[in-house]
């Protein structure tokens, strides 16, 4: 999910925006950049639900818990509105 939504740039199909979105990730293009829409909320809540399920089924084992927490944070932090069009450390800039 992280690779598809937060690292791949451009559009997989022809768009009428004349190339404005070619430097944006797919997450930034969802709903024309509008924050807090129903599709964005669903895509943000689904990793949390998976995190809770995996934590429950691994019986809160410390090793699995740390790995799952790190993966949850790596998926949720780029989805925050504060990180819209922000490139940390110049990664994925072009």
With H, G, I as helix, E, B as strand and everything else as coil, classify residue 31.
helix
Retrieve residue 12's tokens. Answer: 């997989």
**Local structure of residue 91 (DSSP, 8 states):** T
Nearest alpha-carbon partner for 81 in 46, 21, 51, 37: 37
What pLDDT is recorded for position 73? 93
How far is the C-alpha of 55 from the C-alpha of 15, rounded, in Å? 41
CA angle (50 as vertex; 68, 83 as ends), nearest 5? 70
Give 42's pLDDT tier (boundaries 50, 70, 90). very high
Q: What is the pLDDT of residues 58-82, one digit of tens each?
A: 999 999 999 999 999 988 988 888 8
């Amino acid at each position: 999910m992280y690779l598809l939504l937060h690292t791949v740039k451009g559009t997989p199909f022809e768009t009428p925006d004349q190339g404005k979105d070619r430097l944006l990730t797919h997450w930034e293009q969802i709903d024309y950049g509008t924050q807090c829409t129903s599709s964005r909320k669903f895509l943000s809540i689904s990793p949390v639900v998976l995190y809770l399920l995996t934590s429950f089924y691994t019986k809160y084992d410390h090793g699995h818990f740390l790995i799952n927490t790190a993966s949850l944070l790596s998926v949720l932090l780029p989805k925050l509105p504060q990180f819209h069009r922000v490139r940390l450390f110049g990664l994925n800039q072009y």
